[in-house]
Amino acid sequence: MEIIMAIAAGILTMCAVYLILSKSILRIIIGTGLLSHAAHLIVITMGGLKTGAAPVLEEGVTKYTDPLPQALVLTAIVISFGVTAFFLVLAYRAYQELGTDNIEEMKGTDTND
Amino acid sequence: MLHLAILLPLLASLFIPFLYKQFRSVHTGWFVLLVPLTLVIYFSQYISQTMAGETVTQSMQWIPSLGINFVAYLDGLGLLFALLITGIGTLVVLYSIYYLDAKKEALHNFYVYLLLFMTAMLGIVLSDNMIVLYMFWEMTSISSFLLIGYWYERERSRYGAQKSMLITVFGGLSMLGGISILSLLSGSFSIRESFSTLSTYSDDPLFLVALVLFLLAAFTKSAQFPFHIWLPDAMEAPTPVSAYLHSATMVKAGLYLVARMSPIFAETPLWFYLVSGVGMFTLFWGSLNAVKQVDLKAILAYSTISQLGLIMSLLGLGAAALQVEALPDSLYTIATVAAVFHLINHATFKGSLFMMAGIVDHETGTRDLRKLGGLSQLMPVTFTIAMIGTLSMAGVPPFNGFLSKEMFLTGVNQVSESGLFHLETFGFLFPLFAVVGSIFTFVYSLLIVYRTFLGPKQHDKLPKKPHEAPLGMLVSPIFLASLVILIGLFPNLLSNTLIRPAVEAILPQVLAAGGEIDVHIKLWHGFNTELLFTFIIITVGFLLFKTFPKWQSLYHRMPKSFSLNHQYDGLLRRGENVSTGIHDAVMTGYMRSYLVYIFGFIVLLVLSSLFFFDAFAFDVDPLSSISTYEIILVLVLVSSALSITFARSRLTSIILLGVAGYTVALFFVLFRAPDLALTQLVIETVSVALFLLVFYHMPEISRKEERIKFKLGNAAISILVGLSVTLVALASLSQRSFASIAKYYIDNVADLAAGGNMVNVILVDFRGFDTLFEISVLAIAGLGIYAMIHFRKTGGIDK
């Protein structure tokens, strides 16, 4: 399973990079969203998959899944959400001020090249 | 005391602006004059000590932990230079008092720079620690830069200052490299200690690198070919500066360095070749170029280059003395003696000639030889000074230049007879270059006198009505000219007092081997080859001078693009063009290009290191099982991700991103991570809502939507990045080197933290700090979003 997850994460990264290299801001942010999914899946996969029960104490269970990667991913999800939200509003404001969402047109002004 | 003497000009320079502002009626130069005068008297006291072969060492701690201390070391060589610096310094300051107008010039700047320079020069010649030497070395570059650009409102001054700065600092930095290598080899920054441990490291291949680096420094500073080009442009400086820095002192710092490092490097054949070869060619090239100049100071500049080349080649020839110990009559030490002797002579006659040029400029308003002529009756004293100086420079008896030139010819003659370093095959080049160089020296010396003071009178062309200079201006050149005659007639006044101790410092190996340095300069040494050479030089030189108008046009035949100045300017221009070109090509301003660089570099680094460390040995042993659910989820995830990239509308891609996010949440369910699944579901929902919000507010764009154009380059980069991620993941999966620390959390979650949900307990208890700052991140993002929406750019679109 781990091998399949690694390949899936690779494909996710590939799509993310392709989106990030495009011109539209919205697509770039979608790309970063995909990239964070890929990262989270990789972290979970690297911790080892399905090695036991869910990490909640229960009578009679001795084998649990590693809780540490889960805690790390939880933190990462929240942080990437914060950043994504910020970027989305930034893109929105940039569109309002500049009237474009094309990254190649945002190339500095005449006075500030 | 030596330290105080070195730093005295620097200390005095602190008071100059004050004195200048406070005593406006007195020329500031009079206060300055006391400084070099005191120092001359102070340094003359040491003559008797160095004559007896004693040296003075005084040390002051600076950075003892690094072995960098201000060690003042005075021997014959150091003393000779110190006397030159302070002696000529006194005369130049005196001259400048009459040369520079107290009302029109910014005198405080001038004298501060000049005193700074004096300290720097004294520091160079009296330092034993190489780092301190380097510090003073760069200080001369800086103060020379300031002095050349003294009239900074002129464009040529700034050009000359920049040029000299670039070239001499290039040399200075090479010397720093040489110092580093040498101190690594010898284990000490001290020149004397490096010499005493010489035998332990002189075979090291790096030794030759250090040698070349030191020589680069010496050649750039002493204006040797091809680094001589800065000196003629440095003539934009005020004439006292040219006389002091660019004839008598700073340009001799390179000679000093060669002489000072001779004990260490001179036994290497490379040293002999480079120093004598480059010096000889510079002698030839400088004199050849001096003839074609029409500016008085430019002639003198090229003449200085040529004479410095002469001294340099003599120092190189003197190195041969260390090769053949059994030579009779210390045959080669004569070259070193001649070098030191000519060094003194050059300082005297070139100083007086520069002052003469300054007087001519000052009293006629021009230095252009095409406008000057027939000044001998109007300026008889200046004319006499010029006669003495030029004849000495040309090597005519009974002036001092004659003696040193004879000794130079002796040294050159002996080279081909020595049988050293294959000199029997091409040693004849030395006398050839020497004689040709000397002939041209004779020609330009005559040209200076003839075209300035004799020849047709053309006073109507002059900007000013010419007349004799004031007495004060004449004192210094008269003094120097009398020295020229005095040394010429009584050369042995110097031989034991100054020259012998200096030569002993340059060639300590000869003394150590039991040899003696016999300095006895004869005014008349009988009929020999050298005298024949001198006769040839004078005859041919005189003939060439007489026919000068006929062959003058030969100089214009040389294409301009061949000149070294042209090459230098081209080099600067090309350097700028190339760097602008690289910058423009690389820094496109498009974010996409930078992302391509970043991703490309990551791919390159990851794939190459995986390849070189052979990380492809995948181990599939400890893997978990695969179920149908998971396969379906993987297919959903991958196909949604792929469709995003090909989606035509943005709405589709946003919804597909949502699909991917919920699939990830389902994965978390399957991988036994309930908290993650929960969070992922909620956050994906909010994110998609936000995406839709932004999408909704970009109405115009949404209408003219188009599919992303497929770009092969982008696709290749993304495929490679994805591949690297997969490969890294696989490689690290199969190389797990130790067990997880999960057991600790599982065992202690109930006892230590009183909780059952391990993920939550880790988040708020075991690793609570992460959570604290994650909360801060959210808070900052929230505040940032609020600020972005609330605060508007002034003058921008407002709701």
Residue A64: closest CA among chain B residues belongs to which residue?
Answer: B746
Interface touch B679/A83, C-beta < 8 Å: no
Cα–Cα distance measured from residue B524 to residue B533, given in angstroms and rounded to the nearest whole number: 15
What mean pLDDT is reported for chain B?
A: 85
- With a cut of 60, say whether residue B270 has pLDDT above it: yes
Chain A CB contacts of B777 under 8 Å are: 78-79, 82-83
- With a cut of 80, say whether residue B687 has pLDDT above it: yes
Q: Quick one: CA torsion of B666, B670, B675, B677, rounded to 10 degrees?
A: 0
Q: What is the pLDDT of residue B582?
A: 93
Interior CA angle at A93 toward A88 and A97, to 5°?
150
Write down the residue that tokens 């959210």 correspond to.
Answer: B778
Cβ(B503)–Cβ(B337) below 8 Å: yes
Cα–Cα distance measured from residue B429 to residue A51, given in angstroms and rounded to the nearest whole number: 88
Q: Which tens digit of pLDDT belongs to each residue from B324-351?
A: 554 555 566 778 888 888 898 898 899 9
Q: How many CA atoms lie within 13 A of B409 on its CB side?
A: 23
Mean pLDDT lowest among A55-59, B86-90, B660-664: A55-59
- With a cut of 60, say whether residue B118 has pLDDT above it: yes
Q: What is the pLDDT of residue A10?
A: 94
Alpha-carbon gap: B162 to the closest alpha carbon of chain A (Å): 29
- Beta strand B56-63 with B68-74 is antiparallel
Interface touch A57/B757, C-beta < 8 Å: yes
Instruction: Report residue B412: phi and psi, to 5°.
Output: -65, -40
- With a cut of 80, say whether residue A15 has pLDDT above it: yes
Listed in sequence order, the residues at least 6 apart from B522 whose beta carbon sits closer than 8 Å to its beta carbon are: B491
**Between B57 and B459, the higher pLDDT residue:** B57
Chain A CB contacts of B590 under 8 Å are: 103-104, 107
Listed in sequence order, the residues at least 6 apart from B48 whose beta carbon sits closer than 8 Å to its beta carbon are: none
Listed in sequence order, the residues at least 6 apart from B132 whose beta carbon sits closer than 8 Å to its beta carbon are: B62, B68, B69, B70, B71, B123
Alpha-carbon gap: A1 to the closest alpha carbon of chain B (Å): 5
Q: What is the pLDDT of residue B103?
A: 81
- With a cut of 90, say whether residue B547 has pLDDT above it: no
Interface touch A101/B725, C-beta < 8 Å: no
B171 band by pLDDT with thresholds 50, 70 and 90: very high
Residues B654-689 as b or e (16 or more Cβ within 10 Å = b): bbbbbbbbbbbbbbbbebbbebbbebbbebbeebbe
Interface touch A33/B634, C-beta < 8 Å: no
User: For residue B621, how many other CB atoms are within 10 A of its CB?
Assistant: 6
Helix (H), strand (E), coil (C) string for B454-523: CCCCCHHHCCCCCCCCCHHHHHHHHHHHHHHHHHHHCCHHHHHHHHHHHHHHHCHHHHHCCCCCCCCCCC
Q: Which tens digit of pLDDT belongs to each residue from B133-158?
A: 999 999 999 999 999 999 999 999 99
Interface touch B623/A1, C-beta < 8 Å: yes
**Between B781 and B400, the higher pLDDT residue:** B781
Task: Classify the complex by whether its ipTM is higher than 0.90, answering yes or no.
Answer: yes
Cα–Cα distance measured from residue B518 to residue B495, given in angstroms and rounded to the nearest whole number: 9
- In terms of average pLDDT, the best of B68-72, B292-296, B793-797 is B68-72
Interface touch A75/B774, C-beta < 8 Å: yes
Which residue in the set B660, B729, B789 is minimally distant from A34, CB to CB? B660
- With a cut of 70, say whether residue B529 has pLDDT above it: yes
Interface touch A19/B644, C-beta < 8 Å: yes
Q: What is the pLDDT of residue B797?
A: 46
Cβ(A16)–Cβ(A32) below 8 Å: yes
Q: What is the pLDDT of residue B708?
A: 57
Interior CA angle at A8 toward A4 and A11, to 5°?
140
For residue B657, the one-letter residue type is L
Using the Cβ of A74 and the Cβ atoms of chain B, whether some distance falls under 8 Å is answered with yes
Interface touch B797/A48, C-beta < 8 Å: no
CA B576 to each of CA B159, B247, B560, B699: distance values in angstroms, whole numbers, following the listed order: 16, 32, 22, 47
Cα Rg for chain B, rounded, in angstroms?
A: 38
- With a cut of 50, say whether residue B798 has pLDDT above it: no
Closest of B415, B432, B434 to residue B318, by C-alpha: B415
State the average pLDDT over residues B446-474. 79
Cα–Cα distance measured from residue B401 to residue B488, given in angstroms and rounded to the nearest whole number: 7
Mean pLDDT lowest among A19-28, B431-440, B555-564, B673-682: B555-564
Q: What is the pLDDT of residue B497?
A: 82
- In terms of average pLDDT, the best of B306-310, B401-405, B472-476, B566-570 is B306-310
Q: What is the pLDDT of residue B518?
A: 67
- With a cut of 90, say whether residue B678 has pLDDT above it: yes
Test the B interface: residue of A37, A80, A84, A103 with most B CBs within 10 Å: A37
Q: Which tens digit of pLDDT belongs to each residue from B221-244?
A: 998 988 989 998 888 889 899 889
Interface touch B758/A83, C-beta < 8 Å: no
Cα–Cα distance measured from residue B368 to residue B225, given in angstroms and rounded to the nearest whole number: 26
Kindly state the tokens that stand for B282. Answer: 């510079």
Kindly state the tokens that stand for A21. Answer: 């290299």
What percent of chain A shows pLDDT beyond 90?
A: 43
Interior CA angle at B668 toward B663 and B669, to 5°?
95
Look at the alpha carbons of B484, B486, B490, B495 in this order and tell me if their dihedral is positive or negative: negative
Cα–Cα distance measured from residue B95 to residue B463, given in angstroms and rounded to the nearest whole number: 23
Test the B interface: residue of A32, A35, A36, A49 with most B CBs within 10 Å: A49
Which residue in the set A56, A81, A85 is minimally distant from B785, CB to CB? A85
Interface touch B721/A14, C-beta < 8 Å: yes
Q: Quick one: CA torsion of B534, B448, B256, B83, rounded to 10 degrees?
A: 100
For residue B556, the one-letter residue type is H
- With a cut of 90, say whether residue B580 has pLDDT above it: yes
CA B57 to each of CA B60, B71, B81, B127, B698: distance values in angstroms, whole numbers, following the listed order: 10, 7, 16, 10, 81
Kindly state the tokens that stand for B593. Answer: 């290009």
Using the Cβ of A61 and the Cβ atoms of chain B, whether some distance falls under 8 Å is answered with no
Cα–Cα distance measured from residue B308 to residue B314, given in angstroms and rounded to the nearest whole number: 10
Q: What is the pLDDT of residue B28?
A: 85
Using the Cβ of A94 and the Cβ atoms of chain B, whether some distance falls under 8 Å is answered with no
Using the Cβ of A32 and the Cβ atoms of chain B, whether some distance falls under 8 Å is answered with no
Q: What is the pLDDT of residue A113?
A: 42
Q: What is the pLDDT of residue B702?
A: 47
The DSSP element (H or E) to which B168 belongs, if any, is helix B155-186
State the average pLDDT over residues B5-17. 90
User: For residue B600, how many other CB atoms are within 10 A of its CB?
Assistant: 15
Burial of residue B591 (CB within 10 Å: 0-12, 13-18, 19+) is middle
Find the farthest-apart pair of alpha carbons in chain B and give their distance in angstroms, rounded: 116
Using the Cβ of A45 and the Cβ atoms of chain B, whether some distance falls under 8 Å is answered with yes
Residue A32: closest CA among chain B residues belongs to which residue?
Answer: B657
Residue B592: closest CA among chain A residues belongs to which residue?
Answer: A21
- End-to-end CA distance of chain A, in Å? 51
Using the Cβ of A43 and the Cβ atoms of chain B, whether some distance falls under 8 Å is answered with no
Cα–Cα distance measured from residue A91 to residue A85, given in angstroms and rounded to the nearest whole number: 10
Using the Cβ of A22 and the Cβ atoms of chain B, whether some distance falls under 8 Å is answered with yes
Which residue in the set B590, B671, B763 is minimally distant from A104, CB to CB? B590
Q: What is the pLDDT of residue A74?
A: 93
Q: Which tens digit of pLDDT belongs to each residue from B717-727?
A: 999 999 999 99
Instruction: Report residue B56: phi and psi, to 5°.
Output: -115, 130
Residues in chain A: 113
Using the Cβ of A39 and the Cβ atoms of chain B, whether some distance falls under 8 Å is answered with no
Chain B CB contacts of A73 under 8 Å are: 673, 676
Cα–Cα distance measured from residue B122 to residue B632, given in angstroms and rounded to the nearest whole number: 85
Q: Which tens digit of pLDDT belongs to each residue from B388-428?
A: 999 898 888 778 888 888 888 887 777 666 656 566 566 67
Chain B CB contacts of A44 under 8 Å are: 667-668, 671, 673, 676
Using the Cβ of A36 and the Cβ atoms of chain B, whether some distance falls under 8 Å is answered with no
Which residue in the set B756, B770, B785 is minimally distant from A57, CB to CB? B756
Chain B CB contacts of A75 under 8 Å are: 763, 770-771, 774
Instruction: Report residue B569: phi and psi, to 5°.
Output: -60, -40
Alpha-carbon gap: A59 to the closest alpha carbon of chain B (Å): 11
For residue B689, the one-letter residue type is A
What percent of chain B shows pLDDT beyond 90?
A: 30
Interface touch B759/A70, C-beta < 8 Å: yes
Q: DSSP letters along B29-72, please?
A: HHHHHHHHHHHHHHHHTTHHHHHTT--EEEEEEEEGGGTEEEEE
State the average pLDDT over residues B452-477. 78
User: For residue B472, how many other CB atoms are within 10 A of its CB?
Assistant: 12
Q: Which tens digit of pLDDT belongs to each residue from B356-372?
A: 888 888 888 888 888 88
State the average pLDDT over residues B542-555. 80
Cβ(B283)–Cβ(B411) below 8 Å: no
What percent of chain B shows pLDDT beyond 70?
A: 91
Listed in sequence order, the residues at least 6 apart from B183 whose beta carbon sits closer than 8 Å to its beta carbon are: B67, B130, B189, B194
SS3 B74: strand
Residue B677: closest CA among chain A residues belongs to which residue?
Answer: A74
Using the Cβ of A105 and the Cβ atoms of chain B, whether some distance falls under 8 Å is answered with no
Q: What is the pLDDT of residue A112?
A: 47
Interior CA angle at B619 toward B618 and B624, to 5°?
120
Chain A CB contacts of B693 under 8 Å are: 88, 92
SS3 B73: strand
Cβ(A68)–Cβ(B742) below 8 Å: yes
Chain B CB contacts of A60 under 8 Å are: none
Cβ(B398)–Cβ(B488) below 8 Å: yes
Residue A71: closest CA among chain B residues belongs to which residue?
Answer: B759
Cα–Cα distance measured from residue B123 to residue A7, given in angstroms and rounded to the nearest whole number: 69
For residue B720, the one-letter residue type is L
Burial of residue B138 (CB within 10 Å: 0-12, 13-18, 19+) is middle
Alpha-carbon gap: B229 to the closest alpha carbon of chain A (Å): 38
For residue B38, the one-letter residue type is T
Chain A CB contacts of B624 under 8 Å are: 1-2, 48-51
